[in-house]
Structure 1
């Protein structure tokens, strides 16, 4: 009788270890904000946000035309933000331009503008930053930097 109890206790322990190992093997970022940036209909940048990153990704605009559209989709833990705004700032944190976007529901949550609207703002060979703010992130978060040296490409 003692060996049966000991065996069932060992089995329970092994089952607990196996279930724990399976559950902890998932590394999903549940509850994390995320954003995607599209150039026309092509995904060019996707990030998960837990806090402001130490390094900011550079948005690749090589070969972009002036009329090409950038569209940013920001997701707050599965929800769309309210009072959304995209700002362009210089490297010295000088605000160069703001776009405000209406509160929406549904699937079309993108915030769009043309490539030329960004590249025309900075000085030659300067990087500008794309900042997202909303009621959920009032201090804003830097999404990407863009090198304005590519403005010749986008102005043709």
Structure 2
């Protein structure tokens, strides 16, 4: 009886170690980003094939706020960082450049975003740096008439959510 319990416990440990190694192997060294609206996390994603940008809806009550972006290249801050605001056709409407010696956090005033947005329209916020070969889509932004902003979140599968927790713990 004791032998079978030890065997089951050993199997559980081996399986847990295999699962953790598989998760870390998939995401280790990859890029990730966070987008905060007025200090509240609205998007946190790993840049992998097939990730989808979330839509952040701004309202008039957000006008004096701040959109903060933290983009990590394998745990490091990028160089020659630029955040672009584009229309649906991909035309650049506005851009913000961030110095290499500045903070890891990139701040974009919401009033600058809202000055170019019309109610009902959707624009795209993207990121580029010396470390990226192409621009990275961060979030889609739209304006609504309601008092508070609403964020449409993706429903992460349990494994993807667990991997975020494990990697954040390891980093």
Change (3 A) 1:72 1:152: same
Is 1:125 aligned with 2:123?
A: no
Aligned pair count reads 139
- Match of 1:12? none
- The alignment status of 1:75 with 2:75, answered yes or no, reads no
1:103 pairs with 2:100:
yes
Cα distance change, pair 153–95 in 1 and its aligned pair in 2 (3 A)? farther
| Preserved contact between residue 80 and residue 97 of structure 2 (Cα < 8 Å) | yes
Aligned-residue Cα RMSD (Å) equals 3.0
User: Structure 1 unaligned runs (5+)?
Assistant: 1-14
Cα shift at 1:101: 0.2
Residue 24 of structure 1 deviates from its aligned partner by 2.1
Moved more, 31-40 or 67-76: 31-40
Alignment of 1:24-103 (within 5 A): 24-26=18-20, 27-28=23-24, 29-51=27-49, 53=51, 55-62=52-59, 64-103=61-100
The TM-score normalised by the length of structure 2 is: 0.69
1:99 counterpart SS class: strand
Residues 64 and 115, structure 1, Cα contact 8 Å, conserved in 2: no
**Which structure carries more helix by proportion?**
2
Aligned equivalents of 1:43 and 1:149: distance in 2? 19
Aligned to 1:10: none
Query: Matches of 1:117 and 1:104 in 2, distance apart?
Result: 23
Kept in 2, the 8 Å contact 1:40–1:70? The answer is yes
The residue aligned with 1:115 is 110
CA distance in 2 between counterparts of 1:150 and 1:60 reads 10
